Amino acid sequence: MAGYDGVHRHLHLPPSTLIVRMRSCARPLRLLRSRPSSAASPGHLAPRATITSATSSPCSTRLLSTKTSPPAPERNFQPQSARTRRQQRTLASLLQIRTCSISASPLTMSASAPASAQQDYRLPTDVKPTHYDLTVWTDLENSKFEGIVHIDLHVNKETSKVILNTANLDLGDVSLQSESLEGVQTASAREFDTANERGIFSFAKALPANAKARLSIAFKGELTGDMLGYYRSTGGKDGELKYTLTQFEPTAARRAFPCWDEPLLKATFAVTLVSRVNSVNLSNMPAVSEEVYKPESADKGSWIAKKLSTLPDPGQWKITRFETTPPVSTYLVAYANGPFEYLESSYKSPLSGKVRPLRIYATADVISQAQFALDIKRMVLPLYEEVFDIEYPLPKLDTLVGLITGRTQAFLLDPNSADIKYKQNVAATQSHEVAHMWFGNITTMEWWDNLYLNEGEAIVFPEWKLDSEFLGSHFFRARALDAKLSSHPIEVECPDANMINQIFDHLSYAKAASVLRMLASYVGEDRFLKGVSIYLKKHMYKNSVTRDLWEGIQEATGLDIPKMMDNWVKKMGYPVITVTEKEGGIHVRQDRFLETGPADPKDNETIWTNPLNLLTVGADGKATINKDILLDEREKFIPLDTSKPYKLNADTTAFYAVQYPAERLAKLGEQAAAPNSPFSLSDRIGLVSDALALSKAGYTSVSSALELISALRNEKEYLVWDAIASNLAAIVSTWWENPEVVERLNAFRRELFVPIVKRLGFEYKESDPYDDVQLRTTAIEQAAEAGDPWVMGELQNRFNHFLKTGDDSQIPSDLTNITFRIAVQEGGQPEWEAVKRVAAKAKTPSQGLAAMRSMGASKDLNIAEDTFKFIMTEARDQDTFFYAGGLMRNFVTRRFLANKFKENFAAFEKRYAGNFGLIRWTEISFGGLSSDKDYEETAAFFKDKDTSKFDMALKQTLDTIKSRAAWVKRSTNELTRWLEQRGSSRL
């Protein structure tokens, strides 16, 4: 999931769908700042693709394996070879995460599955699908679809009933044909289990074991805007263009056609789409034929002929047939219909030398903004082939903006106006989706409790310091969620669709990637990737469980991987390692870390295997990292010279917090701030974030964390400042109802960030180093949010020029978010109306997002009422989270938002039935509250509500309120004293 104010959903297409052009994989992707497309040079992005009106419907699939270097790396730190550094960068990119969308996909246990695995929430295994012939007729004008599916079955056990998944469909004729029965049977009875979304069809004659059969079911449904199943969307300059696409993960394929909608039941699919002649059809595989329907030459007995003969204009429809897919799970099937155009490029396989075409599809008004994503795809595909040692197996790979993600913001980018953060997001999303060609599509988890096997890999951009960036974007977010009593293991039981939908969170994604990153660091990147390659090759086009991945890595390393990793994925939580300095060394002890403080014995039973990654500094001042030491018991003593610098969890690779004695933490701060610090960028980020997490939980004082931040005020690296900024913002947000504390904290923020703004200025140049660009943006945002009059005034002047003239050239793309927010915050109705117009008709997706988020920034509650009314009556369902996030971020409207959600709960419940909406709205509406009264009132409100679809998010949100309230009660006096003593109370 994305943050409070946004959601990114990615739909994975098995044999065909992605976008973007790429460069040579041997070179890192250079981030271009506002470079016109014509300026691309040979060392940068490939020549710009031409825009072509799509007339056929190709889409390809994903599949690959892994390749690694054989030798095991040295266990101690030493200079690295270029190849090792490249593999580390590759691993960092693989472990980057982008949340994937959730739709529907049914599976069934295979015939060989043990009886103990057959649980009530899984489909019976009497029959297993092997192939689907799926025909879908789409009527865009009237928002409806119809079709027929013929499903080839293998009978595992004699049965007269066929049970599969279906939801929100009107089913027509149901028939069963089998040579063993010498004829065709129609269903003698049909039942529907709406709670479990199943159809049960009974037949007069039983199918014998080991027989082959073909089940045929006609169906029809409505094309709604629910973003689930087969649904409609709109686009174009005026928003009037209609198109359709699918969103099946995890359990929504059943909303599009009757099927066995569970990941384990892979089958091949032959898709046929029938549509208007002036539209484009897309599916996973390339189109093998496309022709306008001719009544005189049609097979009169076919379903298509019968359907089109009922229409007044049968000659205005066309039929597109696609190649048969490899065996895939239902959630990977995808198709779309609409007025699409495409950009085209290609890549050359480094393994075989084959050249494959690459396309990205979008509507005509935005297709020119898809070039960057196409470039990314072209770069990462050959790199993934080399890393996994498995060639992409299909003839092509296409991306449809919307088909993979459901959100244009995840793939479209204006090269002349996009900010760096936005470019990173597009690059990350595209790379993540390409990685699904290997993880998830070629090799698929048996059930959703192994979701993280799909989600722990993806992305390759070494220049962006991804391994360190990973800490702020994923690692510490996962730790924050896993520090709650309401957390869940990575591998969590999924008894029904409600639970499946709720596990797409930071634990399924970010914690999974974090513990894999920890494992890779411990065993060595070469051997880790070798093990992943073994795993992929052994399970190509098959299903997998956790032990399969562990076995692959174990084969490559000779280590007992399950012993080390099982508690990390099967148990919730993580430890805090407490360091006590003693004569001759340090004593270390692990206990479960909770955001509410030391865990009770009943919650503190797990013993994790922790790589201590002990960094020590020798007499020559050089740092050495010992990766051999493990803490796999409750406590142990480690001989060590504590008179010299040392640090546990070097490079912040292991998933635990470290609590040092207060004196040692102060020394670490001094050493981290020193010009020739022995601590890496990731070390310094980890020190800041650990200090704040420990103070929030009451393990240490909040003043010790603030002293550490103060010691780092001369830091040069953007990512350390990003950690400082996010942690200070979290403190301010927690004390949001204490104006005195907030203003003193803001004074501290101004002291830290305004000097950076004065040094770097407000203007962005194409020659600016990446770190300067990011640091400038962060410093301006922090200074403005902290109320610095000079910075706020500059931003307001730039917006006023835009308000008067319509010319936004004075607002750099990197500052659009903060400029819009400050303008609405400090302005009135005119500023709000201007931003509203931008949200309705933005130049670029990133500008539109900035406008949506900023509409909630006003201090005027009358304008807040207008914003909420807009959310309820005009905003698209998938955009409401951005507007709500703006209201939550605004202290004046934070409680207003919570009350409005409660007042309109019935409307939200209806609006977001069946998707993630209630999960996001619950987190956004209540996650910013910080008092015991808020906790009690929120819990009481939901007490008599049906929370089954968002129960996990609700419990986590209540835990968040409780921990914030406890922090306020525990630390307000201490925090106030520290701020007063350091002179930050001067206003």
Show which residues are catalytic: 433
Exposed / middle / buried, residue 421 (Cβ in 10 Å: 0-12, 13-18, 19+)? middle
Query: Phi and psi (nearest 5°) for 357?
Result: -75, 145
Dihedral of the alpha carbons of 176, 252, 498, 261, in degrees to the nearest 10: 40
Signed CA dihedral, 566, 569, 570, 571: sign only: positive
**Integer CA distances (angstroms), 116 to 113, 158, 264, 494, in order:** 8, 20, 16, 15
Nearest to 206 by CA among 239, 181, 173: 181
Helix axes 816-826, 829-840, angle to 10 degrees: 140
Helix (H, G, I), strand (E, B) or coil at 147: strand
By the 8 A CB rule, do 111 and 156 touch? yes
Radius of gyration of the chain (CA): 28
Exposure string of 695-723, with b = 16+ CB inside 10 Å and e = fewer, is: bbbbbbbbbbbbbbbbbbeebebbbbbbb
**Integer CA distances (angstroms), 20 to 77, 339, 361, 611, in order:** 38, 19, 10, 39
CA–CA distance, 115 with 125 (Å, rounded to integer) = 10
CA–CA distance, 309 with 306 (Å, rounded to integer) = 5
By the 8 A CB rule, do 337 and 281 touch? yes
Instruction: Report DSSP state, residue 114.
Output: -
Signed CA dihedral, 677, 680, 682, 683: sign only: negative
**DSSP H or E segment with residue 324:** none
Nearest to 505 by CA among 36, 916, 68: 916
Exposure string of 868-891, with b = 16+ CB inside 10 Å and e = fewer, is: bebbeeebeebbbbbbbbbbbbbe
Helix (H, G, I), strand (E, B) or coil at 352: coil
**Integer CA distances (angstroms), 661 to 649, 704, 706, in order:** 16, 11, 16
Exposed / middle / buried, residue 340 (Cβ in 10 Å: 0-12, 13-18, 19+)? buried
